[in-house]
Amino acid sequence: MAEYAAKKLAQMLITVLGVITLVFFTLRLIPGDAASAMAGDTLSGEALQVLRDQMGLDEPLISQYLGFLRDLAMIDLGETITTRIPIADLLLRALPITLSIAMATIVLSIVISIPLGTLAAFMAHKGRNWLDNGLTGAAMIIDLMPSFWTALVLLLIFSLGLGWFPASGQLNWNNPGSVALRLALPVIVLSLSQVATLARITRTAVLEVLNEDYVRTARSMGWSEMRVLFRHALKNAALPIATVVGLSFGNLLGGTVIVEFIFTIPGVGNLLIAGINSRDYQLVQTLIVLYALLFVVINFTTDLIYKTLDPRVQF
Amino acid sequence: MNYQAPVKTTLLELRNLHTDFQTSTGTVKAVDGVSFAIERGERVAVVGESGSGKSAMAMSILRLLTHPGKVAGGEVLLDGRDISRLSEGQLNAIRGRLVGTVFQDPMSSLDPVMRISKQMIEPIMRNLRLNREQAREEAIKWLGKVGIPEPERRIEAYPFEMSGGMRQRVMIAMALSSRPQLVIADEPTTALDVTIQAQIVEVLKTLTEESGAAMLFITHDLGLVARFAHKVAVMYAGRIVEFGRVEDIFASPAHPYTQSLLGTIPSTAMLKSERLPQIPGLPPDMRFPITGCAFKERCAAAHDRCCVEAPRLSQCGIDHTAACWAPHGLGEGATLKAERPDRPNRPFEPDGSVVVELNALWKQFDTSRKMVVRAVNGVNLRVHKGETLGIVGESGCGKSTIARLLLGLEKPTSGDIFIAGLAQMVFQDPASSFNPKMTIGGIVAEPLVVRAHGSKPERKEAVRRLISQVGLDPAFAERYPHQLSGGQRQRVAVARALALNPSVVVADEPTSALDVSVRAQIINLLVDLKQELGISFVFISHDLLTVRYIADRIAVMYLGEVVEYGAAEEVFADPRHPYTKALIDAVPVPDPAIESRRTSTPLQGELPSPLNLPTGCAFASRCPMATDRCRAEKPALPTHDLARQVACHYAS
Amino acid sequence: MADLSLPATPTRKPSLLAVGSAIARHRFLSHPKVRLALVLLVPILLLTIFAPVLPMQKPLETNLRAMMQFPSIEHVFGTDKMGRDIFSRTLAGVQISLLVGFSVAAIALVFGMVLGTLAGFYGGMIDRAIMTVVDIFLAFPSLLLAIGLVSVMGTGIVPVILAISLADVPRFIRLQRSQVLSLRSRAFIDAARTVDASQYWLMTRHIVPNTLAAMLVAASIAAANAILVEASLSFLGLGIMPPQPSLGNIVRDGQTYLEQAWWISTLPGVVILLIAVGLHFLSDGVRELLDPRSR
């Protein structure tokens, strides 16, 4: 177990190092350099040189790279170039918001999708396909709705039309009720596509397991349908479902950028867009690395859980 | 057989059972009106080929079919009570309690993420109303009875920690632990090696006899039937065509299908010059309605009435019924005659030239865990021109690795391979051995194209010739593999292997994926080709009867070594290595008289792991006559100039 | 030897290709999912092609006397704050969408096919090198990777296509590689190897033809996905920049006026959805047609 985890961890570290390297050098590919790209035509040559010095762009590439690595390792994220605010401070405020949206979405979508997918699989297995067909069709369409569009439509109906949820305003953490109302629509928008994906995966995984020989064995022992479904089918299907939960977390991270933008929520996504718009490459590279790190860590964890759950995997 | 029927009380009776599968292309009547009865304590075997409906019938009894299969009509009387109308809940009180079930594939029939204890103890608690400790005791007792070593420890194992044979023992323990009155066993030994198969059959037989349970045994292996059953039901195209006591069925079969089936199995007394009788054609497509007798197209005795009206089962002896208009099927005491006269009896005379020679061949595979699997350990073999060498042994003995080495698909770790000319191969699985996107013509032509043989029209002509040489219509050249049956595909595989005029053809289990009635067609084809073309064959199989029939010389392999080598008849008539003896003993012979005289117990134990081979004789761990010398000192196979070679210290 | 010559029903063939394609077309068109896909996609395609000659306002043309008008016969999707015709702008956006979708699918298909085949077939160092890079790319959620790349490469159609392709290619490599790995051990490859067929022969005759179907299915899903990602990027202001219309930036433009003129944002979104659904049905249909079990 420990050996496997260590091996996986090493693999993960290599990937993260690769990610950091990729981000660093890609950002140095910008024509001209980051400073002139940032400044556009607004700065004189002299001012541009000051900016360059600030960003350390005149140092050799390799020492810039090593410096970047060193700073990351010491969790020294530096400051934003334009506003001179420590990036760590910005993140400390933005990250909890984004993570709460993501966690709420994961919990909500798991609670809805797994029973739904299991039921659809069970009925399809019995040859009653209406729920399965309906669910599969609805899941496909929901999955294909652009999330920014879904968000706007829900905003139009529930905030502007019915007035159920506030569309804007400060997040006041002293009043959890108001925060919940404010974050409800974003979470619903993200959950829609997550539920669609997870219900579909659950359905496929459970249906596959229901056709396995050992399910027939359990039925031949006289166990009831429900016991067979929960004790044998769902337990075996849990393994592939867990992997997909981990992977769909990546899409979820992408989705948070869009809903934060639409619902003007001061999370990491809005920070990213602001960074791009102000051409603050220090901020952008930090955030991209952060996102990748989150995604890699989540996948590492699900992989480990998956392997622990499956007795066939020997460490 | 000295079987005396106990007090005749019927345990299970099927009346006009129908089972349908609704598919997109129509309704398949998988079971089309089956009626028969099983008495208490009686073992009834149901034999038939794939698609005959035998498994669907067995699964219909407890309604274990999955969608789209559905019991469409008929009654199932268990102890006089019709259980076909019961609700799922009521049926669950019978499943596992009054009727236990053992399935075909032990590798997939146990829940992979659950310990054996969990899968066994809870049903026992429920069915026998025991508390957890008592149920655990009971489960351990049963695991011991079915022959699992150290049951107290193994009960906490997961299925993946056990071999296929061990898992099947667990399945049997599960099925029997609730003391059922009936055990339904659906091909319980098909996925297992022959020595393990013999052990499992023995366990099933002893334990049901001990508990007095009746058994419904589904199989395609007529040999097993002779060893095992009191009565036999022969199924064809969803119906029972013959039913009776096992002695009667084998001694005087009445239905042409049964008669033909018995004829297609090479018997131990058969001469090589005799052709195997073969049943022409294929079983009917069950998606379409059948008028008249389903067997008429393949039956030599078919007449007008057979095409119009389907015969019903009618009495043709005591407790013996058959569904045929002709009272004695193909004729009095007849079995199917071969379609063509026997081959000229040309006894095998090696002309001395060696086509294949393996010298001190070793092959090791490295596994991911830095362990070494020793697949082939110092094998010396020769194949002469025009000779067929049969290689037999259980899975894991290295016979398939030898095939791959011969073809150059693997490189030997050490030793050398000499081949005069070209070696070609016929693969085991007719489904994966062709590119699904290529036509049959393209497949057969591929070796010619790759080796740039001839011009395009010449190649086309060669393909036509090759396809007709293996007994197919040249028009098959334009079809795709998925449009062919298994037997037809195997013919194409032979045609492809012959394209470049090879000096030796390696056939790795070429008939094991085929149905019994088609198997004889392919065996005849190979033997005919060998005689006509003078090619050498290396025929690899676990089917000893077929190897005996087809091979001139036999090499018996165990754990990567040849333990016995010699002329086929001699090895069979007088096996000298204890393993060869055990293998031949384990093979069920389709003759109840021979089977009932069988006294020896099957070979115990399982194949040791090829990861850590013993230092002495590889077979010592299972050998009934092993001594300390065997465990310490490895017996060597004599040099290959001897006509008969045995690697045993005590072979006289 | 042909003693039991099993007859094959002779097939006539005036021209094998013509017959084959006729059957293919017939089966293709009669498949319900394919039909549904065509019902959705063909009208959109035709309207997009003929947009320049249709009697309506040009996409960039403003009309200050007809600002934020409700949908009508004249302006099917209504007008925006500058009096531009939303329908005509939407069709222009669809043009961009389709261009992005097909370019990304083609790029991903070609690179995925080549690199995935090499990695799967040769294994060893080549495989490890390719897969290490692939794993690094797969560590980014795909929309975020596209955002990151666009932030470097700038806005506009070419950077958008490149960014989305770069996010998709690794997935295609992985799919192709896993297909090749499972094909590599099939007996028909062994059969060809016993006659010393060259690696080129194995790849072109046996491997690629058997992987193409799944890759085409993946490509049509990738096209739908690329259209959604392009719209998302443009919506975030990182993709196609105004005044050039794209489905994403039309929706973004309308966001401010959601209360007064809901049609600006919602109707173009419906078109995106229809295209994506159409492409998905198409890929589903193609997959079912190519699956030998459905024959």
> Concatenated DSSP letters for B415-477?
EEEEESS-EEEE-S-TTTSS-TTS-HHHHHHHHHHHTT-S-HHHHHHHHHHHHHHTTB-GGGG
Domain-located, residue C83: yes
CB-CB neighbors (< 8 A) of A207 in chain B: none
Is B156 part of the contact surface with chain A (CB cutoff 8 Å)? no
Mean pLDDT, range B363-382, rounded to an integer: 82
Q: In chain B, whose CA is at the least distance from the CA of A237? A: B113
Pair C166, A49: CB distance under 8 Å: no
Domain-located, residue C163: yes
Is C1 part of the contact surface with chain B (CB cutoff 8 Å)? yes
Question: According to the model, what pLDDT value does residue B540 have?
Answer: 93
What are the helix (H) ranges across C155-294? 157-184, 187-194, 199-201, 208-235, 247-255, 263-290
Q: How far apart are CA C81 and CA A134, in angstroms?
A: 40
Nearest to C140 among A155, A277, A292 (CB): A292
Token readout for A135 is 């669910």
Q: How far apart are CA B317 and CA B322, in angstroms?
A: 9
Assign residue C108 the CATH number of its domain: 1.10.3720.10
Pair B180, B99: CB distance under 8 Å: yes
At B600 the three-state DSSP class reads coil
Token readout for B185 is 């066993």
Q: How far apart are CA B558 and CA B550, in angstroms?
A: 21
Question: According to the model, what pLDDT value does residue B309 have?
Answer: 87
Question: According to the model, what pLDDT value does residue C245 have?
Answer: 87
Is A310 part of the contact surface with chain B (CB cutoff 8 Å)? yes
DSSP H or E segment with residue A10: helix A2-27
Q: How many domains does chain C have?
A: 1
Q: What is the pLDDT of residues B383-407, one digit of tens each?
A: 998 899 999 988 888 888 999 999 9
At B293 the three-state DSSP class reads coil
Domain-located, residue C183: yes
Q: What is the pLDDT of residues B173-206, one digit of tens each?
A: 999 998 999 999 998 988 788 888 888 888 899 9
Q: Is A127 in Cβ contact with B68 (below 8 Å)?
A: yes
pLDDT at A315 over 70: no
pLDDT at B560 over 80: yes
Q: Residues of chain A with pLDDT > 90: what percent?
A: 17
Mean pLDDT, range B86-109, rounded to an integer: 91
Of A143 and C172, the one with more pLDDT? C172
CA B299 from chain centre, in angstroms, equals 24
Is A157 part of the contact surface with chain C (CB cutoff 8 Å)? no
B69: which strand partners? B21
Mean pLDDT, range C280-289, rounded to an integer: 83
Chains with 3 or more CB pairs closer than 8 angstroms to C? A, B
CB-CB neighbors (< 8 A) of B407 in chain C: 190, 193-194
Closest CA to B18 of B76, B88, B86, B99: B76
| Cα–Cα distance list, B479 to B447, B482, C16, C212 (Å) | 18, 8, 12, 21
Q: How far apart are CA B568 and CA B553, in angstroms?
A: 5
Domain-located, residue C155: yes
Burial class (CB in 10 A: 0-12, 13-18, 19+), C55: exposed
Mean pLDDT, range A206-230, rounded to an integer: 91
pLDDT at C40 over 50: yes
Q: Which backbone phi and psi does B188 adopt, to 5 degrees?
A: -70, -15
Q: Is A14 in Cβ contact with C228 (below 8 Å)?
A: no
- The CATH superfamily label for domain B10-98+185-191+209-344 reads P-loop containing nucleotide triphosphate hydrolases (3.40.50.300)
Q: Mind telling me how many Å the CA of A310 is from chain B's nearest CA? A: 6
B44: which strand partners? B216, B231
Q: Is A223 in Cβ contact with B160 (below 8 Å)?
A: no
Q: What is the pLDDT of residues A241-272, one digit of tens each?
A: 888 888 788 888 889 999 999 888 899 999 99
- Provide CATH 1.10.3720.10 ranges for chain A: 98-266
Per-residue pLDDT band at C16 (split at 50, 70, 90)? very low
pLDDT at C71 over 50: yes
Out of B419-423, B592-596, C96-100, pick the least confident. B592-596
Q: Is B97 in Cβ contact with A224 (below 8 Å)?
A: no
Q: How far apart are CA B567 and CA B574, in angstroms?
A: 11
Domain-located, residue C41: yes
Question: According to the model, what pLDDT value does residue C7 have?
Answer: 44
Domain-located, residue C249: yes
- The CATH superfamily label for domain A98-266 reads MetI-like (1.10.3720.10)
Question: According to the model, what pLDDT value does residue B342 have?
Answer: 62
Closest CA to C258 of B634, B294, A156, A180: A156
Radius of gyration of chain C measured on its C-alpha atoms: 24
CA B261 from chain centre, in angstroms, equals 14
DSSP annotation of B161 reads: G
At B375 the three-state DSSP class reads strand
pLDDT at B537 over 80: yes
Out of A168-182, C10-24, C205-219, C262-276, pick the least confident. C10-24
Q: What is the pLDDT of residues B142-181, one digit of tens each?
A: 999 898 888 999 999 999 888 888 999 999 999 999 899 9
Q: In chain A, whose CA is at the least distance from the CA of B89? A: A224
Mean pLDDT, range B429-457, rounded to an integer: 89
Per-residue pLDDT band at B652 (split at 50, 70, 90)? low
pLDDT at A31 over 60: no
Is C273 part of the contact surface with chain A (CB cutoff 8 Å)? yes
Domain-located, residue C208: yes
Is B370 part of the contact surface with chain A (CB cutoff 8 Å)? no
Per-residue pLDDT band at C21 (split at 50, 70, 90)? low
DSSP annotation of B11 reads: E
Is A224 part of the contact surface with chain B (CB cutoff 8 Å)? yes
Question: According to the model, what pLDDT value does residue A314 have?
Answer: 58
Domain-located, residue C272: yes
Using CB atoms and an 8 Å cut-off, which of residues 175-214 of chain A contact chain B? 210-214
Radius of gyration of chain A measured on its C-alpha atoms: 24
Query: How many residues does this entry show for chain B?
Result: 652
Q: In chain C, whose CA is at the least distance from the CA of B478? A: C11
Question: According to the model, what pLDDT value does residue B600 have?
Answer: 67
Is B62 part of the contact surface with chain A (CB cutoff 8 Å)? yes
Burial class (CB in 10 A: 0-12, 13-18, 19+), B189: buried
Q: How far apart are CA A5 and CA A204, in angstroms?
A: 29
Question: According to the model, what pLDDT value does residue A44 have?
Answer: 66
User: Residue B573: which residues within 8 A CB-CB, separation 6 or more?
Assistant: none
Per-residue pLDDT band at A21 (split at 50, 70, 90)? confident
Q: Is B280 in Cβ contact with C197 (below 8 Å)?
A: no
Task: Give the domain range for residue C218.
Answer: 33-57+75-294
pLDDT at A228 over 50: yes
pLDDT at B1 over 50: no
Per-residue pLDDT band at A41 (split at 50, 70, 90)? low
Average pLDDT, rounded, for chain B: 86
Q: Is A225 in Cβ contact with B114 (below 8 Å)?
A: no
Q: Mind telling me how many Å the CA of C134 is from chain A's nearest CA? A: 10
**Tokens 């496997």 correspond to what residue?**
A4
Q: Mind telling me how many Å the CA of C270 is from chain A's nearest CA? A: 8
Q: In chain B, whose CA is at the least distance from the CA of A217? A: B109
Per-residue pLDDT band at B116 (split at 50, 70, 90)? very high
Of C56 and B486, the one with more pLDDT? B486
Is C192 part of the contact surface with chain B (CB cutoff 8 Å)? yes
Per-residue pLDDT band at C12 (split at 50, 70, 90)? very low
Q: Is A272 in Cβ contact with C147 (below 8 Å)?
A: yes
Per-residue pLDDT band at C180 (split at 50, 70, 90)? very high
* Predicted ipTM > 0.85: no
Question: According to the model, what pLDDT value does residue C2 have?
Answer: 37
Q: Mind telling me how many Å the CA of C11 is from chain B's nearest CA? A: 8
- Please report, as a single letter, which amino acid is at residue A123: M
Nearest to B407 among C194, C206, C295 (CB): C194
Mean pLDDT, range B568-576, rounded to an integer: 89
Q: Is B112 in Cβ contact with A236 (below 8 Å)?
A: yes
At B288 the three-state DSSP class reads coil
Pair A235, A277: CB distance under 8 Å: no
Burial class (CB in 10 A: 0-12, 13-18, 19+), A56: exposed
Of B347 and B440, the one with more pLDDT? B440
Q: Is B408 in Cβ contact with C6 (below 8 Å)?
A: no
Token readout for B38 is 């099983």
Is C276 part of the contact surface with chain A (CB cutoff 8 Å)? yes
Q: Is B96 in Cβ contact with A127 (below 8 Å)?
A: no
Mean pLDDT, range A16-36, rounded to an integer: 74
Q: How far apart are CA A262 and CA A165, in angstroms?
A: 14
Of C23 and B420, the one with more pLDDT? B420
Out of A218-222, B11-15, B625-629, C176-180, pick the least confident. B625-629
Is B410 part of the contact surface with chain C (CB cutoff 8 Å)? no
| Cα–Cα distance list, B388 to A238, B357, B401, B571 (Å) | 52, 13, 18, 15
State the helix-helix crossing angle for A130-144 and A87-125, rounded to 10 degrees. 160
Out of A190-204, B111-125, B239-253, C27-41, pick the least confident. C27-41
pLDDT at C14 over 60: no
Nearest to B436 among C2, C192, C292 (CB): C292
Q: What is the pLDDT of residues C126-150, one digit of tens each?
A: 998 998 889 888 888 888 888 888 8
Q: How far apart are CA A223 and CA B109, in angstroms?
A: 15
Nearest to C5 among B471, B500, B529 (CB): B471
User: Residue B634: which residues within 8 A CB-CB, separation 6 or more?
Assistant: B615, B616, B617, B618
Q: Residues of chain B with pLDDT > 90: what percent?
A: 40
Is B437 part of the contact surface with chain C (CB cutoff 8 Å)? yes
Q: What is the DSSP string of B330-394?
A: TSTT--PPPSSPPPP-------S-EEEEEEEEEEEEE-TTS-EEEEEEEEEEEEETT-EEEEE--
Per-residue pLDDT band at C294 (split at 50, 70, 90)? very low
Token readout for B396 is 């894991």
Q: What is the pLDDT of residues C208-248, one digit of tens each?
A: 989 988 898 899 889 999 999 999 999 988 888 888 888 88
CB-CB neighbors (< 8 A) of C193 in chain B: 407-409
Question: According to the model, what pLDDT value does residue C295 have?
Answer: 40
Q: How far apart are CA B497 and CA B513, in angstroms?
A: 18
Per-residue pLDDT band at C9 (split at 50, 70, 90)? very low
Average pLDDT, rounded, for chain A: 83
Q: Give me the total of CB pairs closer than 8 Å, taking one residue from chain A and one from chain B.
A: 77
Mean pLDDT, range A43-52, rounded to an integer: 70
Is B174 part of the contact surface with chain A (CB cutoff 8 Å)? yes
pLDDT at B11 over 90: yes
Token readout for A306 is 């998956």
pLDDT at B336 over 60: no
